[in-house]
Amino acid sequence: MVAHSSLTREEQFNLLSHYNNNASLVEDSLKLFSSGSGLAVSTVISYGFWYSLCRSPELVSALAGRSDPSGTEQNELQKFKSLFCYQLAAVITSTEVALAGRVSAWPLALDWWQPLRFPGTAYVGYKTYTTCNPPFLIPVVTAAYFTHEVVVRTVAGTYAIQALRQQDRGTSQPLDYVRSEYTLLSSMAGLMVGVVVYDAMLAGGFTTAQAIGAYLISSELTKRIFTRSSFSTLNSDDTDRIEAGAEDLAEAGAIAGSLAAAIAAAIMMSAERSNLIFEGITLVTLVSAVPIVPEVCVGAFVGLLAGTQIIGLMMLQHSQLDPKHLLKNIAPLGPALAIAAINGFSNHRVYGYSLEESFTETVRKQWKKFHAPLDYLYTLFN
Question: What type of residue is 37?
Answer: S
> How many Å apart are CA 237 and CA 260, to the nearest integer?
29
pLDDT on residue 173: 43
Question: What type of residue is 370?
Answer: F
| Angle separating helix axes 119-131 and 244-273, nearest 10 degrees | 30
> Which class for 334: exposed (0-12), middle (13-18), buried (19 or more C-beta within 10 A)?
middle
Question: Mean pLDDT by 10-residue block, N- to C-terminus, for the chain (382 residues)?
Answer: 57 73 82 92 91 72 52 60 82 93 69 77 85 78 91 92 74 61 84 86 86 86 75 47 69 87 82 66 70 83 91 80 66 83 92 90 92 87 75
> How many Å apart are CA 254 and CA 250, to the nearest integer?
6
Model pTM score? 0.85
**Cβ neighbours of residue 105 closer than 8 Å, sequence gap 6 or more:** 1, 114, 117, 254
Q: State the CB neighbour count (10 A cutoff) for residue 50.
A: 21
Helices vs strands, H then E, count in the chain: 15, 0
pLDDT on residue 97: 94
- State whether residue 93 is helix, strand or coil: helix
> How many Å apart are CA 48 and CA 31, to the nearest integer?
26
